[in-house]
Amino acid sequence: MSPTSNNLRTTVVDKLWRNNLTFVQLLGLSPLLAVTTSAVNGLALGLATAAVVLLTNIVISLVQRAVAPAWRIPLFILVAAALVTGVDLVSNALFDDLHEALGLYIALIAANCALVAQADTVATRRPVVEATLSGLATGLGALGVLVLLGGLREITGQGTLFAGMATLFGPGAAALRLNFHFSGMLIALLPPGAFFGVAALLALRARLTQPCADSAQ
Amino acid sequence: MAKGESNVVLTAVVAGVLAVAAFFGVRAAYDFSHERIAMNQRARLVARLNSVLDPALLGHDLTTTRLSFSDVELLGSSTPIDVFVLSDHGQPVATVLTSVAPHGYNAPIDLIVGVGADSSVTGVRAVRYRETPGLGDMINRDKSSWIEQFRGKSLLSPARETWLVKQDKGQFDSITGATVTSRAVVAAVKNALLYFEQHRDAIYNAARETAVTEHEPDL
């Protein structure tokens, strides 16, 4: 039992941090750069992405043994596309303002290469439990980066954090808004600001992991 | 060999089940959401129209009629654009023109212009634009109050020759660093007023006729 759960823990840590989709594999950058002008945008796209990765991983790992290998990826794409369409429609109905802000990027989750990478390496090859955890960890890893970058750009760009949470969680969440009493630098909200933000986060991550790499040698 | 064949059959069955499940899943999501999405779109349109109306009209029981007109020179678009007429018991009290400012800095600017029964502007909003962030996007009411200066203006006040930005010896402030954008918006609002002046009777008559045939839901 213990080696298995150890294995699962490794998987989760790997997807969340060591091999984080966005930070390390640098996949799925286009939605990341386009929508992270605020924490709430990042959170919304992150939640949608995580839900889709998790659910497709579960479905495909459930049927993987019954399906010929050549069929696994096409079926994965079918399931992912249906889920994304559903998420797109339902979010349009329930979170209209947010859907307006995220625009095409919810529909584009289906084309996120991160999803297919997951399908290829995990969902079609590993047992259900591992595939589920891996999907969850991958989704949460991407979600974390989206919120982090969204928050960073929101603070530096307009001097607030969690503005507009009401569009996702209802009027009560408006109180979450933090004001930093400075007007912000516009550049952080423009496309170059997205690259500066990613660069800063990558540098920070490298700084955090570097000492471990050194001591290992 | 036999094992391989059964695998093909099983694969086909699973693929078929997934395809059918995907179909009904998307269908259910559509059924759940399409009415709400239509309601959201309508609410967005109503909010947009209300933002350029005379505040005194809000709260009245008005009938909205959507008309379609086309004028490249004055409305800025070669395709027909929407003109909304709001009527109080059959009497037109306000008109909202969706006009295009063709000479925006980066791309044409889509505007909505509210015009009262006295032919003065009741409000202007930029609804779609690609102006430079930090400069030209000050036409957005959320970023600056610049666009409020049109409220209450008409072709008589200021005189129509002076519907220009101050740099061009006109009466309107321009946005610092975005004179091109300011010129484009001032000209487009003026043109919308000219169009309304020339076609006022046609617009009102069309609204009355349409309102008789199809009574749209109230605002």
Q: How far apart are the first and last CA of chain B?
A: 69
**pLDDT tens per residue across span B135-188:** 888 999 988 999 999 999 999 989 999 999 999 999 999 999 899 999 999 999
Q: d(Cα A123, Cα A125) in Å, to the nearest integer?
A: 6
Q: What 3-state DSSP class applies to A184?
A: coil
Cα angle vertex A95, ends B97, B44, to 5°?
10
DSSP codes joined into one string, B126-165: EEE--PPTTTGGGGSTTT-SGGGGGTT--STTTTGGG-SB
Read off the pLDDT band of A167 (50, 70, 90).
confident
Confidence check: pLDDT of B97 > 90: yes
Continuous segment of H or E residues that includes residue B51: helix B2-51
Say whether B11 and A71 touch across the interface (CB within 8 A): yes
Nearest to A12 by CA among A122, A110, A114, A112: A122
Say whether A82 and B40 touch across the interface (CB within 8 A): no
What is the complex's ipTM, to 2 decimals? 0.79
Say whether A96 and B32 touch across the interface (CB within 8 A): no
Residues of A with CB under 8 A from a CB of B: 59, 63, 66-68, 71, 75, 78-79, 81-83, 85-86, 89-90, 92-94, 96, 186, 189-190
Nearest by CB to residue A92, choosing from B21, B26, B37, is B37
Say whether A63 and B25 touch across the interface (CB within 8 A): no
Nearest to B90 by CA among B1, B182, B177, B205: B205
**pLDDT tens per residue across span A54-94:** 998 888 888 888 888 888 888 888 998 999 999 999 999 99
- How many other C-beta atoms can be found within 10 angstroms of the C-beta atom of residue B56? 10
Place of tokens 């989709």: A21
Confidence check: pLDDT of A47 > 50: yes
Q: d(Cα A112, Cα B31) in Å, to the nearest integer?
A: 26
Q: d(Cα B97, Cα B124) in Å, to the nearest integer?
A: 10
Chain A residue nearest residue B19, CA to CA:
A78
Four-residue CA torsion sign, B9, B12, B16, B17 = positive
Read off the pLDDT band of B5 (50, 70, 90).
low
Q: Stretch A90-108: mean pLDDT, rounded? A: 87
Phi-psi label, residue A184: left if phi above 0, alpha if psi -120 to 50, beta otherwise = left
Q: How far does the CA of residue B24 sit from the closest CA of chain A (Å)?
A: 9
| Contacts with A63 from chain B: Cβ below 8 Å | 14, 18
Chain A residue nearest residue B22, CA to CA:
A82
Return the residue in A58, A61, A67, A85 with the most chain B beta carbons within 10 A, the one to mutate for interface testing.
A67
Nearest to B121 by CA among B158, B83, B161, B151: B151
Continuous segment of H or E residues that includes residue A178: strand A178-179
Separation in Å, CA A12 to CA A6, A126, A130, B93: 10, 14, 9, 63
- How many other C-beta atoms can be found within 10 angstroms of the C-beta atom of residue A85? 18
Nearest to A19 by CA among A212, A216, A209: A209
**pLDDT tens per residue across span A119-129:** 777 777 788 88
State pTM to two decimals.
0.79
DSSP codes joined into one string, B62-129: -EEEEEEEEEHHHHSEEEEEEEEEEEETTEEEEEEEEEEETT-SSS-EEEEEEEETTS-EEEEEEEE-
Nearest by CB to residue B29, choosing from A68, A81, A86, is A86
Say whether A68 and B44 touch across the interface (CB within 8 A): no
Say whether B133 and A83 touch across the interface (CB within 8 A): no
Q: How far does the CA of residue B113 sit from the closest CA of chain A (Å)?
A: 22
- How many other C-beta atoms can be found within 10 angstroms of the C-beta atom of residue A186? 15
Residue B135, both tokens? 């400069």
Return the residue in A90, A95, A158, A190 with the most chain B beta carbons within 10 A, the one to mutate for interface testing.
A90
Q: How far apart are the first and last CA of chain A?
A: 31
Nearest by CB to residue B33, choosing from A78, A81, A89, is A89
Read off the pLDDT band of A177 (50, 70, 90).
confident
Read off the pLDDT band of B107 (50, 70, 90).
very high
**pLDDT tens per residue across span B43-60:** 989 999 999 999 888 888
